[in-house]
Structure 1
Amino acid sequence: MVGTAQRVNRSELGTALRVLREASGKEAKAVARGAVMSASKLSKIETGKVSPSADDVDRVLTAIGVSEDVKIEFMDAARAAATETTAWRLIQRAGLHKAQRQLQGIEARMTLLRVFQPALVPGLLQTPEYMRAVLSRHEDLTQESVRQTVMARLERQDVLQDPGKTLRFVITEPVLRWLIVPATVMVGQLDRLASVSRLPHIDVRVVPLAGPKHDIPNHPFVIRDDRAATVETVHAEIVVTDPRDVALYVAKFDGFAQDALHGDGMRALLEGIRNDLLPQRETH
């Protein structure tokens, strides 16, 4: 069966994982615990009631303790099958703060993060004031939901202090001039970006408005370890794990990073935008 893993479709993947687990002699509870998921979720994956993400498959295979060759074949099958779309309303219904904690777990295991943002300051770089201002725009979010989400996102930001990770951010200049928040909040946010950009394992770049451009900033996306790209659209979050598709996002990120300002040049741009905002801050 192992040799046919690449031909296993999504509906068969759970059954294949169950067969592997049973062949290993490990109980479901032990594998679920090792995969950091509930026994109920593992059961639903194995019976085909829940479609596993590539990350789910990776964790289950690691918990089972399969050989590297087997893992490669099953992960290829999982990634080829996996383009997951989850509507924001479903994420919100489950709890935005819970989604933040799930991301925290994923980011704890990664070593390389790339974030492209043409819409908002990336969540890992947001100040608490910026977070609250953005979240509070959503009338269907209660004050308690906003509070819990802000706290969970701030906990996620602990990853910024981990020198063992490489974190790369590319932001377009309009993000820093788009006053979806009061000018006083944006000034504080710019100061935060300048401060974080001085950490040696963090690369913050800004694509300036001036100069020729070689690509179009269609939408935000995040790439983790070249294994998955998460795309944010108006109605949903899309997770892509097919290596060919992930490579497209890596190339797009690298193109914008090449055109972007970084280091002292980037910080000088931030200072110029900050000076433009200061008069507006005085009148708000």
Structure 2
Amino acid sequence: MNRAQLGAALRALRQASGKEAKAVARSALMSPSKLSKIENAKLAPSTMDVERILTAIGVSDEVKAEYTDAARASATEATAWRLLKRTGVHKGQQAAKALESQMSMLRLFQPALVPGLLQTPEYIRAVLQRHSLSEDSLSRTINGRLERQAVLYDTTKSLRFVITEPVLRWRIVPPQMMAAQLDRIVSISRLSHVDIRIVPLGIQQHDIANHAFVIRDERMVTVETVHAEVVVTDPRDVCLYAEKFGGFERAAVSGDTMRNLVEGIRDEFLQEQETG
């Protein structure tokens, strides 16, 4: 099924349900213009787009499975950063917030940066300034990421983070700000539904920390590469990422051991600030 056929099928299903496009778009957490572009084959929907539209329409599980499988035929979808920048980087934060509102479990592996949901405002700004955004776009994107962090306090969700030790030492911001960033990680780690683990440098490793990835439930993996954001929805590939996450999770330290490691690095930054 190509883009035009899928769009036409979604439009026919919506019309048969008697629901207006605006109501379906609102329930599917997207703009009416985006829904219109999908229905008219001007925009290729992601698998998650199709699933949200079908849920909003209220089709049977059988129909939903049929059309999400059709969308999954293009199981790996990539959106170049230059396109995201053109449409507005802050919209990417809105899309992530929508996904996180619907998920029940998040598993995030990060070997390069502090995960966005754990970042301080200063750290967020330093990371985003690499993209040469206008001040308006930068401010909107920072605010969008901070708004997303509300999910950290939703006790109905399970949030699991695995970070490598070099992330804690990588100097994205000055020492005092790095210390504050590490304090935030320690603080968030005390939430009962949040599990933060660190893979220490001092232990033997049995896998390669290729790149960051996020698994939302068992349905979708998001990978950030140098040139694009890649979305993986094929269950076989999602399983591969889940297995890789599990391996690093088992190799990582948690609880008080993790907090002692983070606080030790934080103290190094504070000492450097005092003697600098």
Matches of 2:134 and 2:40, distance apart in 1: 37
In structure 1, what residue type is equivalent to 2:16? A
1:45-99 CA distances to partner (integer Å, 9 max, x unpaired)?
Answer: 1222211111111111112211112212222222232321111122122222221
1:101-139 CA distances to partner (integer Å, 9 max, x unpaired)?
Answer: 22112111111111110010000000112112222344x
- TM superposition score normalised by structure 1: 0.91
In structure 2, what residue type is equivalent to 1:185? M
Which of 6, 9, 12 is 1:13 aligned to? 6
Matches of 1:230 and 1:222, distance apart in 2: 5
| Residues 10, 81 of structure 1: 8 Å contact kept | no
Matches of 1:279 and 1:31, distance apart in 2: 55
Higher alpha-carbon deviation: 114-123 or 267-276:
267-276
Which of 91, 100, 110 is 1:98 aligned to? 91
Say which SS state the counterpart of residue 173 (structure 2) adopts.
coil
Structure 1 pair 40/214, CA: closer, same or farther in 2 (3 Å)? Answer: same
Q: Which runs of no fewer than 5 residues in structure 2 stay unpaired?
A: none
Which of 181, 187, 190 is 2:182 aligned to? 190
Q: Which runs of no fewer than 5 residues in structure 1 stay unpaired?
A: 1-7
Structure 1 pair 33/134, CA: closer, same or farther in 2 (3 Å)? Answer: closer
1:239-270 CA distances to partner (integer Å, 9 max, x unpaired)?
Answer: 11111111111111111101001001101111
Higher alpha-carbon deviation: 250-259 or 20-29:
20-29
**How does 1:38-117 map onto structure 2 within 5 Å?**
38-117=31-110
* Counterpart residue number, 1:130: 123
Matches of 2:161 and 2:81, distance apart in 1: 23
Sequence identity percentage: 64
In structure 1, what residue type is equivalent to 2:135? Q
Matches of 1:150 and 1:24, distance apart in 2: 39
* Counterpart residue number, 2:133: 141
**CA deviation after TM superposition for structure 1 residue 225, in Å:** 1.1
**CA deviation after TM superposition for structure 1 residue 216, in Å:** 0.5
In structure 1, what residue type is equivalent to 2:240? L
| Residues 175, 269 of structure 2: 8 Å contact kept | yes
Matches of 1:150 and 1:30, distance apart in 2: 29
Higher alpha-carbon deviation: 103-112 or 192-201:
103-112
* Counterpart residue number, 1:32: 25
**CA deviation after TM superposition for structure 1 residue 41, in Å:** 2.2
Higher alpha-carbon deviation: 153-162 or 176-185:
176-185
Matches of 1:76 and 1:28, distance apart in 2: 23
* Counterpart residue number, 1:165: 157
* Counterpart residue number, 1:213: 205
| Residues 161, 195 of structure 2: 8 Å contact kept | yes
Matched residues, number: 276
Matches of 2:52 and 2:225, distance apart in 1: 27
* Counterpart residue number, 1:227: 219
Structure 1 pair 192/84, CA: closer, same or farther in 2 (3 Å)? Answer: same
| Residues 79, 243 of structure 1: 8 Å contact kept | no
Which contiguous aligned blocks of 4+ residues in structure 1 show a shift greater than 6 angstroms?
Answer: none
Higher alpha-carbon deviation: 87-96 or 160-169:
87-96
Matches of 2:144 and 2:103, distance apart in 1: 18
Structure 1 pair 101/70, CA: closer, same or farther in 2 (3 Å)? Answer: same
